[in-house]
Structure 1
Amino acid sequence: MWVALFALGGTVSVAGDTPRLTGSQIVAGVPGLDRLGVRIDVRDGEAVPSSGLTFTKVLDVVDAASRAIAEGAAAAIVLQGTDTLEETAFLADVVWPHEEPLVLTGAMRNASLAGADGPANVLAAVRVAIAPEARGLGALVVFNDQVHAARWVRKTNSTSTAAFVSPNTGPLGHVVEDRVRVLAAPPLREVLPYRRPDTERLAATRVAVYTAVLDEDGSVVDDVARNCQGLVVAGFGVGHVAGALAPRLGEVAARMPVVLTSRTGSGSVARATYRSPGSESDLLGRGLIDAGLLDPWKARVLLRLLLAGGADRDEIASAFGRWG
């Protein structure tokens, strides 16, 4: 049995003032990995902080991982920085068609620090990757001996080794000693028809995020939406904005897809609980698209991928109805 491991840099590859660790060096520093009976085929990519990753780079890794599965790999693992991990994992998940899992992990503490978590996370990721229980679950984020669905995971702390949580669902499972225990079955996975856009079209597709804040007159919305093909609104609570802002968003929604999310970090956008100007029912009535449980960052990932792939507004609304 073998798995393909793609090393993209990030804290897991940092070792104090020394040069960045390669994927092979990271793997060699994981105690107990050699006892799992699995061959790790390490493939080093460009080592960058995860803030330097792009949709194109992530999709390149997904394509390479798919080729590894076709070559007989039991799974694929991605090591990267944690800053954008929740977004890259979701991007991979919506296009990953295989039963074999795609497992993403990294580290919050680099290898030169006491309590470095990289080796433990890599070991747990390999355990999950080869576990029969992980098949069919799509892209997974493994951190702190927890298994999270890419669709729901979020980074909620800037420094803690327990930074990754799934606020709406909790983790799918845990790694306990040498066992992978999946305790919660996720909803039936759906993969988008994978029409990968070319690099130029992807680069030309811009989706902005507007976050509702106290005492904002809404004039900034026009600036945010300018030169964009889509907009995600991170609204108050269940999807609210100031009443004066609602007509502006309706005007934008007449020109491009505008997706309504909640800025709270968990919970769903409502549909018909409130009816005042700027409420969720008012905004949806003006043509905004309900993102359901998807947070603003994942909604942006999905919207940009759909737009770059040529989806029209009805296809976009349908996709958010299924994924949110």
Structure 2
Amino acid sequence: MSQPRILIVSLGGTITMTRSEAGGITPTLTADKLIDSVPQLAGVATLEAITQFSMPGASLSIRNLAEVAELLNQRLQGDIDGAVVVQGTDTIEDTAFVLDLLVRSPRPVVVTGAMRGPQAAGADGPANILSAVTVAADARLRGMGVVVVLNDEIHSARWAQKSHTALTSAFTSPGTGCMGFVAEGRVELMMTPQRHIAPIQGPLAHDHAVAQVSLGLGEDARMLPTLQGLGYSGAVIEGMGAGHVPAASVGAMVELMHQMPVVLCTRVRGGRVFTQTYGFAGSEMDLIAKGVIPCGHLSASKARLLLSLLLATGTSPDGIRQAFAHTTSA
């Protein structure tokens, strides 16, 4: 029986970084070098390597990820059975979510990286690549959407979140837990994620900047009405609790809603934005009645990415509301 064919696409990140003469670590290793560092991969899959970018995760853009998605859409139509995208952990959750929205193939796509550089003691990159390829080569992952694999854990793109700046167990899925893990070289699936948001259709015709603003205790949001003049086409407001903002900020939010779509999220990492419980000024019911779009379970960062892609594909205001309505379901 022939081995699965897996495409490795490297974007850079800590997993590719070595120490430079100027001090600190910077991206230097190619996708081929990453594969060479894990000889056990030869027993899992037949690999093809592409170095698409060589940059830290924090410098990736939506345009960069759209290029990666297009590459995957092309290659996953042919003899490639699955793909592993390797990048910096700063934005792994963002990349996984964007690819989940843009990649149309049901074949497995895995995003991985490393918390420690290849020259660090206890470097986790080789183990993460091995587990990621093992997951990408498993046909049971077909149709489950993009997943994140680090520390032998498998996380759905929708829920994955970097929860620690240093630990190799940095990635979690608040509210659901991981969907499975890799042990003894085998994939163990504990749950099957549901894909409530349909893939984004059509080309990204224009870049649309979406502001992400967090409103905390005592703020009046006086900066919000200036966003349109700064070139923003949409805004994501990260409120408190179940989706609440200070009463003093409501006027500025209403003014902003007259200019662009405004999505309401919460800074709380577990649970969703409520829609019909609280009725005070600045509550979720008050803001929804005035025109805000509740983001369901999405974090503010993922809501910003979804709104950016919807605007870039010319989605109507009703279409934007419908897309976010689907995020309310777990």
Give the TM-score category using the shorter length.
over 0.9
Q: SS in structure 2 opposite 1:32?
A: helix
Report the number of matched residues: 319
Aligned 1:30-69 pairs, distance under 5 A: 30-36=38-44, 38-69=45-76
Shift, 1:60, TM fit: 0.6
Deviates more, 1:102-111 or 1:23-32: 23-32
What pairs with 1:80-95 in structure 2 (closer than 5 Å)?
Answer: 80-95=87-102
**2-structure distance, mates of 1:272, 1:157:** 33
What is the CA–CA distance in structure 2 between the aligned matches of 1:108 and 1:188, rounded to whole Å? 28
Report the CA distance between 1:323 and its aligned residue: 2.9
Task: After TM superposition, list the pairs within 5 Å mapping 1:186-201 onto structure 2.
Answer: 186-198=193-205, 201=206
The reply to whether residue 258 of structure 1 matches residue 265 of structure 2 is no
Aligned with residue 165 of structure 2, among 131, 140, 158: 158
Match status 1:219 vs 2:222: yes
Q: How far off its partner does 1:186 sit?
A: 1.1
Superposed counterparts of 1:125-274, under 5 Å: 125-198=132-205, 201-202=206-207, 205-226=208-229, 227-274=231-278
Uncovered stretches (5+) of structure 2, i.e. residues with no partner:
22-26
Matched, 1:109 2:109: no
| Deviation of the 1:225 alpha carbon | 4.8
2:232 maps to amino acid: C
What is the CA–CA distance in structure 2 between the aligned matches of 1:136 and 1:108, rounded to whole Å?
A: 28
Shift of 1:30: 1.2
Deviation at 1:247, TM superposition (A): 2.2
Q: What is the SS of the residue equivalent to 1:229?
A: strand
Counterpart of 1:8? 11
User: 2:33 aligned with 1:29, yes or no?
Assistant: no
Deviation at 1:267, TM superposition (A): 1.2
Q: 1:236 to 1:206 in 2, by over 3 A?
A: same
| Distance (whole Å) between structure 2 residues aligned to residue 189 and residue 138 of structure 1 | 11
Does 1:310 pair with 2:314? Answer: yes
Q: Partners of 2:323 and 2:199 in 1: how far apart?
A: 8
Measured after TM superposition, the shift of residue 208 of structure 1 is: 0.1
Unaligned runs of 5+ in 1: none
Residue 40 of structure 2 aligns with an amino acid whose one-letter code is G
Displacement, 1:193? Answer: 4.1
Which one of 87, 100, 115 corresponds to residue 107 of structure 2?
Answer: 100
The CA deviation string for residues 155-191 of structure 1, in whole angstroms up to 9 with x for no partner, is: 1111111111100211111111111011111124543
1:96, 1:191 within 8 Å by CA — same for their partners in 2? no
Aligned-partner Cα distance in 2 for 1:64–1:308:
19
Q: 1:94 deviation in Å?
A: 1.1
The CA RMSD over aligned residues, in Å, is: 1.4
Separation in structure 2 between the aligned mates of residue 52 and residue 22 of structure 1, nearest angstrom: 18
Q: Is the 8 A contact 1:138 1:189 kept in 2?
A: no
Percent identical pairs in the alignment equals 37
- Per-residue deviation, 1:51: 1.4
Q: Does structure 2 conserve the Cα–Cα contact (< 8 Å) formed by 1:133 and 1:180?
A: no
SS at match of 2:143: coil
Residue matched to 1:292: 296
**Are the aligned partners of 2:196 and 2:326 in contact in 1 as well (CA < 8 Å)?**
no
User: In the TM superposition, what is the alpha-carbon distance from 1:99 to its structure 2 partner?
Assistant: 1.5
**TM-score, normalised with respect to structure 1:** 0.95
1:124 to 131, 134, 145: 131
